[in-house]
């Protein structure tokens, strides 16, 4: 007999999400993801000075803070005809790279790890490592006071939960350390970005501030601390869990999608923009040996099961304007259904690593004999993604120092440039597309400028891809697909559902933007992210 369960809210993600699942014979037989919050970020920039847009749409999301401002700048730069000078490019890579490290560490420990451990095992720790004894004392004092919020309450730990007191205490210690490390990642980014969350220095055409050598040194020092934690703590923890206690989850392909992956590519390594740290590419049907080239024109959006009026089918995001219909009976989410060559695509670290195929990741795939990667592999991919970024950020620091020397930043006779001032004024007409990789995956912004003002603005963000509903052909979105088949022995304890959802690191504030009420239930909306 099928049992329907609803989890609302899904916590430890960004934003508002509800999941409805049907359980039959101990496994998920059907699932729906429902996004439940709207603001209207795209609509409210229409008619504004285009230069405001990066500042405003940056605020779509404060977790991956930075990526929307960047993608927006890229779209505007195409429309303005602006070119970011070399030092501007390197500074952007640095401020966003530091944030990348922050983001993955935060996700692993603070958003995801509690799904895989029984935190009360700390109380049974009998070792004598001073740090771990202190963790135990702390947790015990909180437990004695009857107040272990926000660590408890939790779902009942299942068979996959790590209960070994030594390992759990170590992970809880790392959780506490990581709280401080992720704050330091933000701080490093703020050295070049002005502040975090929500940088202030990235503007159309470049950045607003030359770094001082003191700042470069401060950045490097903090960054090294974050990288050391990533290398010596986070990555070993992720690999340990993936290859140890969680290997059975991965072997069972829990959380696997239909196997279609997409990366737009991101982080320019040269001025032409042709060489990227993360390459673009597409994979179908888990066929990892065949990475196809990516064509932005092949993106289409569908709305059959989304709360939008049906319209001429399906369109490219840069061209569509849509009307919302809250009363559409078939609809069950405000997230739209973007498809690539008609397929639902997973985006994010797993897609990025499968397209890029760095050696440590492919070795891990080999070791675990993975053919259909699932939730555990998603965490492992995120760890390797961190490793790739850690190496790159260190290279960019050296590149920045070399540029400072070459360009004579601090003297009047220097030729250093961080901003394309000649193209700062908005054009009368223009269109632009900004495609990039955010920590959560492929991110696209599209702008149309008319009469020096924003005429139209669109975003399709990673979580729109991952958390999309069904399409016309009846194909479910990647997260929905990943949920089907998940073992849920006890409907009262649907921890596997949450593990799978969180492995995608969804960001719902990104995925849903509002729209216009006009006093009735019908509101006019931009194609959604």
Residue length of the chain? 529
Spatial separation of the C-alpha atoms in residues 328 and 43, rounded to whole Å: 22
By CB under 8 A, name the one of 41, 380, 384, 511 that touches another protein. 41
Kindly identify the residues of this chain, within the stretch 143-172, that bind another protein according to CB under 8 A: 145, 147, 149-155
Q: Which one, 44 or 247, has the nearer CB to another protein? A: 44
308 in Cβ contact with 337 (< 8 Å): no
Nearest residue (CB) to another protein, 46 versus 362: 46
Alpha-carbon distance values, 165 to 121, 173, 370 (Å): 5, 12, 29
Residue 69 found at the interface with another protein (CB under 8 A)? no
Contact 400, 91 (CB under 8 A): yes
Rounded distance between C-alpha atoms, residue 491 and residue 499, angstroms: 14
Q: Measured from the CB atom, is 251 or 428 closer to another protein?
A: 428
Site residue total, another protein (CB under 8 A):
109
Among 20, 29, 30, 44, contact with another protein (rule: CB under 8 A): 44
Minimum gap (Å) between residue 521 Cβ and another protein: 7
Q: State both tokens at 400.
A: 């920045």
**Binding track, positions 423-462, relative to another protein; x by CB under 8 A:** --xx-x----------------------xxx---------
Residue (of 450, 498, 76, 509) closest to 254 by Cα position: 498
**Site map for another protein, 289-308, x if CB under 8 A?**
--------------------
Closest CA to 2 of 22, 19, 32, 28: 22
Phi-psi region of 410 (alpha: psi -120 to 50; beta: other; left: phi over 0): alpha
Q: Interaction with another protein in 79-108: which residues (CB under 8 A)?
A: 85, 106
Whole-number minimum distance, CB 254 to another protein, in Å?
18
271 touching another protein, by CB under 8 A: no
Kindly indicate which of the ranges 157-165, 379-387, 410-418, 435-443 contains the residues binding another protein, using the contact rule CB under 8 A. Answer: 410-418
248: contact with another protein by CB under 8 A: no
Taking the complex as a whole, how short is the minimal distance between the CB of residue 310 and another protein, in angstroms? 19
* Residue with smaller CB distance to another protein, 192 or 267: 192
- Tracing tokens 């070049």 back to the chain, one arrives at 192
**Helix, coil or strand: residue 388:** helix
Q: Which is nearer to another protein, 384 or 447 (CB)?
A: 447
- Check residue 195 for interaction with another protein (CB under 8 A): yes
- Report 317-356 residues binding another protein (CB under 8 A): 326
Angle at 438 between CA 433 and CA 441, to 5 degrees: 95
What spatial distance separates the first Cα and last Cα of the chain, rounded to whole Å? 36
323, β-bridge pairs: 524
Comparing CB distances to another protein, the nearer of 11 and 292 is 11
Is residue 418 at the binding interface for another protein, with CB under 8 A as the rule?
yes
Nearest to another protein of 343, 445 (CB atom): 445
Angstrom distance (rounded) from CA 256 to CA 371: 10
**203-232 positions binding another protein, by CB under 8 A:** 203, 206-210, 218
Q: Are the C-beta atoms of 483 and 5 separated by less than 8 Å?
A: no
By CB under 8 A, name the one of 29, 177, 224, 357 that touches another protein.
177
| Interface with another protein in residues 493-522 (CB under 8 A) | 494, 498, 509, 514-518, 521
Determine if 40 is a binding residue for another protein (CB under 8 A): yes
Beta pairing class for 202-203 and 206-207: antiparallel
Minimum distance from residue 133 beta carbon to another protein (Å): 9
Identify the burial level of 191 via C-beta atoms within 10 angstroms of its C-beta, where 0-12 means exposed, 13-18 middle and 19 or more buried: buried
Dist CA 161 CA 238 (whole Å): 14
Q: Helix (H, G, I), strand (E, B), or coil: what is residue 129? A: coil
Choices 39-47, 268-276, 380-388, 429-437; region in contact with another protein by CB under 8 A: 39-47
Minimum Å gap between C-beta 303 and another protein is 17
């Amino acid at each position: 007999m099928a049992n329907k369960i609803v989890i609302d809210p899904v916590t430890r993600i960004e934003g508002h999400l509800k999941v409805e699942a049907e359980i039959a014979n101990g496994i998920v037989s059907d699932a729906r993801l429902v996004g439940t919050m709207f603001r209207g970020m795209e609509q409210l920039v229409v008619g504004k000075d285009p230069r405001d847009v990066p500042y405003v749409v940056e605020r779509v999301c404060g977790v991956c803070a930075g990526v929307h401002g960047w993608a927006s700048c890229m779209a505007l730069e195409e429309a303005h005809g602006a070119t970011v000078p070399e030092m501007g490019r390197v500074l952007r890579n640095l401020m966003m790279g530091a944030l990348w490290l922050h983001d993955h560490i935060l996700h692993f420990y603070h958003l995801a790890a509690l799904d895989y451990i029984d935190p009360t095992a700390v109380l049974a720790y009998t070792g004598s490592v001073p740090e771990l004894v202190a963790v135990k004392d702390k947790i015990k004092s909180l437990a004695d006071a009857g107040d272990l919020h926000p660590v408890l309450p939790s779902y009942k730990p299942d068979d996959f939960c790590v209960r070994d007191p030594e390992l759990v205490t170590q992970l809880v210690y790392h959780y506490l350390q990581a709280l401080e490390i992720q704050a330091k990642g933000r701080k490093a980014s703020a050295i070049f970005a002005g502040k975090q969350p929500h940088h202030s220095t990235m503007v159309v055409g470049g950045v607003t501030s030359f770094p001082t050598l003191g700042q470069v040194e401060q950045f490097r020092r903090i960054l090294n601390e974050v990288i050391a934690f990533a290398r010596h703590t986070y990555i070993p923890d992720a690999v340990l869990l993936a290859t140890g206690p969680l290997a059975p989850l991965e072997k069972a392909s829990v959380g696997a999608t239909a196997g279609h992956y997409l990366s737009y590519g991101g982080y320019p390594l040269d001025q032409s923009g042709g060489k990227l740290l993360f390459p673009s590419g597409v994979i179908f049907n888990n066929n990892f040996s065949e990475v196809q080239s990516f064509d932005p024109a092949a993106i289409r959006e569908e709305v059959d099961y989304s709360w939008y009026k049906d319209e001429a089918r399906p369109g490219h995001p840069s061209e569509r304007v849509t009307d919302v219909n809250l009363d559409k009976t078939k609809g069950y989410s405000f997230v739209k259904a973007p498809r690539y060559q008609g397929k639902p695509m997973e985006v994010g670290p797993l897609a990025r690593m499968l397209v890029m195929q760095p050696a440590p990741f492919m070795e891990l795939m080999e070791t675990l004999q993975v053919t259909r990667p699932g939730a555990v592999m998603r965490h492992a991919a995120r760890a390797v993604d961190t490793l790739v970024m850690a190496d790159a950020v260190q290279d960019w620091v050296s590149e920045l120092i070399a540029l400072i020397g070459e360009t004579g930043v601090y003297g009047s006779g220097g030729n250093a440039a961080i901003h394309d001032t000649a193209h700062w004024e908005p054009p009368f007409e223009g269109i632009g597309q900004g495609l990039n990789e955010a920590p959560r995956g492929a991110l696209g912004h599209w702008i149309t400028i008319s009469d020096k003002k924003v005429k139209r603005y669109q975003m399709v963000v990673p979580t729109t891809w991952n958390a999309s509903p069904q399409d016309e052909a009846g194909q479910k979105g990647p997260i929905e697909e990943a949920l089907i088949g998940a073992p849920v022995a006890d409907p009262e304890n649907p921890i596997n559902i949450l593990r799978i959802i969180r492995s995608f690191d969804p960001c719902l504030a990104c995925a849903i933007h509002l729209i216009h009420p006009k006093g009735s239930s019908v509101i006019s909306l931009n194609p959604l992210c």
